[in-house]
Amino acid sequence: MANKESGTEFDSLGKEAQETPKDRQINELQEDLAAEQKARKVDVFLFILVGTIVLDIHVFSSMQSWAGPVSILALEVLLLLVLAERFDISIVEQAVDKALGAAKVLKK
């Protein structure tokens, strides 16, 4: 009971709650790692997007009608949107929201 009255339990909790230089360095490294992981996701998404565009140019140039490229393009756009959401690419989500907002305005 004497320990509780003198506050030693609370003193030890206060020491643990103080942020040490090591804790700050760990937090900075975690933030740097998260930023690097997000940048890698963006790089992978852009690589897939450019690869898709190059493949489309090659395939679409050899197609005789316009129906094939249009249907393939529609499917690719949907798949790229899903991929962007999965990779947490915020700029794509913002562009889609903006386009849908503009489409709602035009519909009225």
Q: What is the pLDDT of residues 27-71, one digit of tens each?
A: 999 999 999 999 999 999 999 999 999 999 998 888 888 888 899
Specify the DSSP element, H or E, that contains 89: none
In a domain, 77, yes or no: yes
Question: Does pTM surpass 0.95?
Answer: no
Spatial separation of the C-alpha atoms in residues 75 and 60, rounded to whole Å: 14
Contacts of 52 (CB under 8 A, 6+ apart): 76, 80
Q: Domain range spanning residue 52?
A: 42-108
In a domain, 66, yes or no: yes
Domain count across the chain: 1
The widest CA-to-CA distance across the chain, in whole angstroms, is 90
Determine, yes or no, domain membership for 13: no
